[in-house]
Homo-oligomer: A and B are copies of this chain.
Amino acid sequence: MNDHSGNRRGANERRSTPPLRRAGMREVAERAGVAISSVSRVISDHPDVSDKMRERVLAAIEELGFQPDALAQSLRTGESFTIGFVAADIGNPLLAQIAMGAERVLRQRGYSMLVANSFNEPGLALEQLRSMEQRRIDGLLISVSDETDEALNKALESAHYPITLIDREIAATSAAAVLSDHATGIRAAVEHLISLGHQSIALVNGSSQVRPSRERAETLAKVAGEHPNITSTIRMGDFSAEHGYGATKELMTGADAPTALIAGSNQILVGVLRALRELSLSIPADVSLVTCDDVALSEFLTPAISTISRDPALIGRTAAELVLAQFSGEAGAETHLPTGFRTTDSCGPPRQK
């Protein structure tokens, strides 16, 4: 309770105030007049310790402000209680929320999270993975930027620790995965657009090297195919505003411009909106608009943007639970998380020709 750490004179040869080198089990053992191994037993809650022993040791620990050295513990036990998190862009609010959700449950279970931003470079991601392995992470949460990168995949396959893929699909891996069910969300959006009378729908998509983009593209094509006279256009690219801007300009100034647009990410949405503004196209009079994933303030746009949404914190929490679950032996499971569609005034009937 009180913090006058060790005011007894003479007992300690060092300058009194804060112990320069933090105390170790050794000092604790001496202070308590017991063996070092007994101290160990106390801090690791070993059943075979007498109450008197525990008392003495805990007192010494308190007086010295002892904190066990996690590094030494890890070296000895093999467990680091550290989980790695690698993603292309934690600056993206979606991923930041996922990371936050994950960190929360990890910490609750006694784990710390090591993060790394791979900036869409598989090479960097691999390097970061190595760095984490050297730190003996007990598990890994990763959202690769390219599911086809051989070197990275090989590293993931041969990893000796549990892995959870975040919205990614890599064939030859036994990793667990949290997968968002993009299909139902985009299907709802597309069907809604079709019911409004749209016949030409375009998807300004992200990278084809990752699952979300692929699933969205496939679903759009599929749904379009289920209805007569529906044309679907897909512009693959990267998850950037630049791509959103360029693709939208091309699409909307081309011969048969689509009457409805779906932006494949919040970054892409920014580009799409810039292009539409520049072209003086209004929503939904000139073109209906849907985007993927929530963005702050989107509710205040005029019109608000229809959104295919999901719960990022839940994704993060689930990912964390999935890595931890693998410690109990079970193989990497695949968990599917729902996706919703919230329609707003950004979707309306297409302009009559």
A residues with a Cβ closer than 8 A to B are 3, 18, 20, 22, 67-72, 74-75, 80, 82, 89-93, 96-97, 99-100, 103-104, 107, 112-117, 128, 130-136, 154, 158, 160, 266, 269-270, 273, 277, 295-298, 300-302, 313
Contact = CB atoms under 8 A, between A and B. Distances in A.
A70 B270 CA distance: 42
A43 to B, nearest CB: 11
12 contacts: A67-B130, A68-B134, A69-B75, A70-B134, A91-B96, A91-B100, A93-B296, A103-B117, A269-B297, A296-B297, A301-B301, A302-B302
Nearest to A3: B154
A188 B152 CA distance: 49
A284 to B, nearest CB: 15
Contact of A117 (B104, B131, B295): B104
Given A93-B296, A266-B296, A69 B134 contact: yes
Given A75-B75, A82-B114, A90-B100, 13 more contacts: A3-B154, A18-B160, A71-B135, A90-B99, A103-B115, A112-B116, A112-B135, A113-B115, A270-B297, A277-B300, A296-B296, A297-B301, A301-B302
Nearest to A65: B158
A100 B117 contact: yes
Nearest to A266: B296
Contacts of A113: 114-116
Given A70-B134, A112-B131, A114-B113, A96 B103 contact: no
Given A22-B160, A91-B100, A107-B128, A273 B300 contact: yes
A7 to B, nearest CB: 16
Residue of A114, A128, A297, A298 with most partner-chain B CB within 10 A: A297
Contacts of A104: 117
Contacts of A295: 296-297
A97 B93 CA distance: 9
Nearest to A135: B70
A24 to B, nearest CB: 12
Contacts of A82: 114, 135
Nearest to A97: B91
Contact of A75 (B72, B92, B131): B72
Contacts of A93: 91, 93, 96, 296
Contacts of A18: 158, 160
Contact of A69 (B22, B69, B99, B136): B136
B112 A114 contact: yes
Contacts of A72: 75
Contact of A115 (B115, B301, B302): B115
Nearest to A103: B117
A95 to B, nearest CB: 8
B67 A71 contact: no
A95 B93 CA distance: 10
A131 B81 CA distance: 11
